[in-house]
Chains A and B, each alone.
Chain A
Amino acid sequence: MLRRAHQFALAGLLLLAALLTPAVSAAREYLQLFVTEPYLELHTGPGRGYPVFHVVPRDGSVDVLFRRTDWFKVRTEQGVEGWASQNDMQKAVLADGTPFKFDLGDRAGFTDHRYEMGIFAGQYGGATLVSGYMSFSFNSQLALEGSVGQFLGKFSNGEIGDIGFAHVFAPESRWSPFVTLGLGLVHTEPKATLVAAPDRTEQSAYVGGGVRFYLTRRFFLRAEYKAHYIFTKRNENEDADEWKLGFAFFF
């Protein structure tokens, strides 16, 4: 037990060291932007409430160091570092005079984005289900999705993992329905107190559908149903219904 704890701690330290390395190594080229509005306000922190402590006048330039959510950390020619909001940065231009364009995370992004992530709570074959999913969109209508979940029931616990395709109808509308089709694995651990049945892992296929509803910014709700067909080694295959409601975001 203690040895495992040590290994865990060591792995964590190695991970931290690996993560720190890029943060320490500097000397990279930053994007330079020019202010076209009368001035660009710099806040002390990445949030709407942080006070403005510095302004960059028109035609002044800033280097964009990095982005955190809807805020950009910038450095002025004098070396002053501060946070500029997404709305203000939209009015800045590149060195050749073209406007600065970036992903805004608004309603247009809901229609057309690359990645989605979310968490769900629901039911799987009568058991409580907790799951998460991630999707990669090829275009605004077709996406490749992967989801993993854990179900906790009275008679058995287990995990499910699925991978498949989703087709979204009317991605531009606030309520956009979708259909899904894919394959998966189900690992079931029957509760030992009942019958001494062994754990089993089986393949499955699913077909389903659902609806997503755009909330605000990068968020949307997603309700989904999947009908799973589990290919067992026994005489009969099994069916399992999965109902879930979740909260997701795109980026």
Chain B
Amino acid sequence: METRLRILLLSVVLAALPGCATVRHWFHRDHPATPDTTQAEDENAAPPRVVDPEVSRRKIVVPKIRSRNIEVGLDYGVLSIEDFGTHPSYGLTAAYHITEDFFFQAEVGRARAGNTSFETLSGISLLTDSERRFTYYDLSLGYNFLPGEAFIGRGHALTSAFYLIGGIGGTDFAGDTKFTVNFGAGYRVVPTDWLAVHITVQDRVFQTDLFGTSKLTNNIEARIGTTVFF
């Protein structure tokens, strides 16, 4: 009886053992059973490596190419305000070069108007102090009309361009803001990659009725400026 029971228990244990051996795979169904490789390696008996190669693939980081199409600068010149004399002016310009031919330019500038000949003779002042401030702002399109090179001696060549410019904007003068059309031409010399020197002559035309009758006034400005490309 006892031996029978022992045989029964033993057979149960024998049956249970291979089942239990699979337990570790029960909860890791996703992972395929890794074959025991130690034996296989011994059998193949690969020769020991003399040099352990450490090859890592080189990653090429492409540095970003900087674009230098924006030009910002200051300028100084003289502005002839129709009927009010010629006076010093100063301004700021910012340009964006779209192609080698065209650029967009924004300009802001200011000058102070003097007296008209009537005011000088009669001693009567037509405008207040703040009304004499002549402020212009424009958005213009420029065209590099005659690109070329300027030479200094034998060893230096500077790229240069003669350009035409025209656009629209506003002018604050005599207590009013007027729609203004501008057009002009300039010469740009670029001594280094980041610096440029400009000479520009620009006319700003607007309609005014300051003296009773409506008339078109021309306000010509000549200025020299330095700009930085970045």
Interface residues of A (CB under 8 A from B): 1, 5, 8-9, 12, 15-16, 19-20, 22-23, 28-31, 44-50, 64-73, 94-96, 102, 105, 117, 119, 121, 128, 130, 132, 150, 152, 157, 191-192, 217-219, 247, 249, 251
Beta-carbon nearest neighbor of B138 in chain A: A130
- Tell whether, in the assembled complex, residue B100 and residue A130 are in contact, meaning their CB atoms are under 8 Å apart: no
Say yes or no for B23: interface residue by CB 8 A criterion.
Answer: no
Residues from chain A with Cβ under 8 Å of B178 in the complex: 152
- Tell whether, in the assembled complex, residue B149 and residue A66 are in contact, meaning their CB atoms are under 8 Å apart: no
Residues from chain B with Cβ under 8 Å of A247 in the complex: 141
- The digit string for B211-227, where 1 denotes a CB below 8 A from any CB of A, is 00000000000000010
User: How distant is the Cα of A119 from the Cα of B49 in the complex, in angstroms?
Assistant: 71
Partner of B228, one of A8, A20, A96, A251: A20
The 8 closest A-B pairs by CB, nearest first: A45-B159, A23-B194, A119-B139, A66-B66, A152-B179, A128-B179, A19-B228, A12-B74
Of the A-B pairs whose beta carbons lie under 8 Å apart in the complex, a sample of 29, sorted by A's number, is A9-B74, A12-B92, A16-B228, A30-B63, A31-B62, A31-B63, A31-B64, A31-B65, A44-B159, A45-B149, A46-B159, A50-B159, A65-B66, A65-B193, A66-B65, A66-B68, A67-B67, A67-B69, A68-B68, A68-B229, A69-B97, A69-B100, A72-B65, A95-B60, A117-B104, A119-B141, A130-B139, A217-B99, A249-B98
User: How distant is the Cα of A117 from the Cα of B97 in the complex, in angstroms?
Assistant: 12
Residues from chain B with Cβ under 8 Å of A217 in the complex: 98-99
- Tell whether, in the assembled complex, residue A47 and residue B177 are in contact, meaning their CB atoms are under 8 Å apart: no
Beta-carbon nearest neighbor of A158 in chain B: B177
- Tell whether, in the assembled complex, residue A44 and residue B157 are in contact, meaning their CB atoms are under 8 Å apart: yes
CB of B74, distance to nearest CB on chain A (Å)? 5
**In terms of DSSP, what is the predominant structure of the interface of chain A?**
mixed
Residues from chain A with Cβ under 8 Å of B96 in the complex: 117
| Number of residues on chain B facing chain A (CB within 8 A) | 48
Interface residues of B (CB under 8 A from A): 60, 62-69, 72-74, 90, 92, 96-100, 102, 104, 110, 112, 129, 133, 139, 141, 144, 147-149, 157, 159, 167-170, 175-179, 193-194, 226, 228-230
Beta-carbon nearest neighbor of A24 in chain B: B194
CB of B219, distance to nearest CB on chain A (Å)? 16
CB of A190, distance to nearest CB on chain B (Å)? 12
User: How distant is the Cα of A161 from the Cα of B22 in the complex, in angstroms?
Assistant: 74
Residues from chain B with Cβ under 8 Å of A69 in the complex: 69, 97-100
Residues from chain B with Cβ under 8 Å of A20 in the complex: 194, 228
Beta-carbon nearest neighbor of A250 in chain B: B98
